Amino acid sequence: MDAALGPPEKMAENSEELTPMMSQYFELCREYDDSLVLFQVGDFYETFCEAAERTARLLEIALTKREDSTGTYPMAGIPIDSAESYVETLLDAGYRIAVADQVQDPEEATGVVDRAVTRIVTPGTLTEDELLDTDDNNFVACLTEDPDRYGLALLDVSTGDFYATSARREEAVADEVSRFAPAEAIVEPGASGTATDVFDADCMVSPYDPEAFESEAARGKVEAYFGAPDSLLAGSAEIRACGALLAYAEYTRGGEDGRLDYLNHLTRYEPREYMLLDRVALSSLELFERRGVHGDADVTLLGVLDETACALGSRKLKDWLRRPLLDPERIEARLDAVEEWTRDVQAREAAREQLRDVYDIERLIARISRGRANARDLRSLKATLDVVPELKAELRDFESEKLVELRADLDELAEIRDLIDRAVREDPPREITEGDVIKQGYDEELDRLRETEREGKEWIDSLEATERERTGIDSLKVGHNSVHGYYIEVTNPNLDSVPDDYTRRQTLKNSERFYTPELKQREDEILRAESRADDLEHELFREVRATVAAESERVQAVADA
């Protein structure tokens, strides 16, 4: 086993005597022994012992040490604000990452701050835009093996795309895997030998909890998301693959409730419904990757055909190429729709311009449902949904079956667009805990608090002129800093003119800083209003985000239309 994984040996020797914080780290390493634990300490994620030595080499960061009553431990850390680039390097080195965050306000802690693993980052379950470097799907696969059949499930956690199929031969399963090119795969322990021949060398493959593959557990998991599994899937192998994959996706979310509420559709397909494209064909036809060492990287069939205007269209086109149709009726219906677009140049160009403004709403709604979206994400969702009525207008004169169905299926989600428009500022900050997120007029209590804050600051802005006139000190200044708050600064030559109601706050080399009873009162009012307003804004934003998340199925239906 990799020495960087699991509980550090040196800590294990003194596990009963470790300090509370180091004991937390030790227990998390023991619980998540298949992952490299990044342990939040203030503004950094730290690693210790063998994990620290390994990360220091891989990330080219300083190796320091931490001492406590049980000894000295190597330590290496990365800043939280720029963690993504370091995490990407660790993923490329073949590690899963268990991110252990502080889940308690340090000011409320009576002892060591509580920490818990809030997510597990793996190659196939990425959701962060910084780590998803393309618009392509990023699949994690699951392989099961019954006596007469192999089961295969594939899930893109970032978009909610979920597929399942099965085959009797190992070669057929390998061909299906080649279509989707998963970044990661889990297998039940008995199928590890088969996995070597099914998955490519650059796919991270590992066994997973055997209990997740048991029939009863897998059935219960599938039913919790999609209803009766026998009505959706064909046989035990598929059910066990889907159930285990759902369990793994939940596991990577960390915490007690890992449910992925935005997963609301499962597509089961028969390989024979689509043109057979085995590994050799995919490579020879250069559908997605070019064979030659030299030449233009974009000279693949996808590269030539992909003139799509948004990420949704690009992924849809790749899926069509990955699974070409065989049914003549479905092919003709698609061609009829294409023909109508080619005849109406004006409508086509108008629709194309509209689609240029579309954001990747599959990934947006996934982030919103996971509670990781910020205010900018909500505004991006609204901007995309605003395109829907315009697009429906362009489709109103079309008559082909596919385009008539498309127009009927496009949900304008007017109430969601209206909610976001009323609640969230047009250009909000990236952080959702520091104010300026919620629009004026959305909540009366928030407006009252912001008005108190504004009036207080206006009073302070006028205080300098008022006090100069009252004291006759032309050099008097009113200022603020994060340590001492608001103050009135008077230079040393003018100290004799300081009024009796001034109270000394700070002594500097060439001046003194004071406050007055009224300044102190105003400062307290501003701070109370500002703090309560920031907290209330955060609460209101979370409520809006939860309301939008509740409509994830409708949003995904628009994305899939």
Q: At 87, list the tokens.
A: 């995490």
- 222-236 pLDDT, tens digit each: 999 999 999 999 999
Q: What is the dihedral of CA 430, 433, 436, 442, to 10 degrees?
A: 120
Label each residue of 475-530 as H, E or C.
CCEEEEECCCEEEEEEEHHHHHHCCCCCEEEEECCCEEEEECHHHHHHHHHHHHHH
Contact 129, 191 (CB under 8 A): no
Per-residue pLDDT of 501-548, as tens digits, reads: 999 999 999 999 999 999 999 999 999 998 899 999 999 999 999 999
List, in order, residues 6 or more apart from 301 with CB less than 8 Å away.
285, 286, 287, 288, 321
> What pLDDT is stored for residue 44 in this prediction?
94
Q: Residues 253-282, buried b or exposed e (16+ Cβ, 10 A)? A: bbeeebebbbbbebebeebeebeebeeeeb
Q: How many residues does the chain have?
A: 561
Q: Tens of pLDDT along 155-200?
A: 999 999 999 999 999 999 999 999 999 999 999 887 777 788 889 8
Q: What is the mean pLDDT of the chain?
A: 90
pLDDT at 276: 84
pLDDT band at 479 (very low <50, low <70, confident <90, very high): very high
pLDDT tens digit sequence for 294-310 = 555 557 888 888 999 99
Give the domains, in start order, of the chain with CATH numbers: 9-121 (3.40.1170.10), 140-273 (3.30.420.110), 275-326 (no CATH), 444-542 (1.10.1420.10)
pLDDT at 12: 85
Task: Name beta bridge partners: 239.
Answer: none
User: b/e map of 333-364 (b: 16 or more CB within 10 Å)?
Assistant: beeebeebeeeeeebeeebbebbeebbbbbbb
pLDDT in tens, 74-129: 999 999 988 999 999 999 999 999 999 998 887 777 788 899 999 999 999 988 87
Torsion of CA 304, 308, 310, 313, to 10 degrees: -100
pTM to 2 decimal places: 0.84
Q: Is the pLDDT of residue 484 over 90?
A: no
Three-state secondary-structure class, residue 431: coil
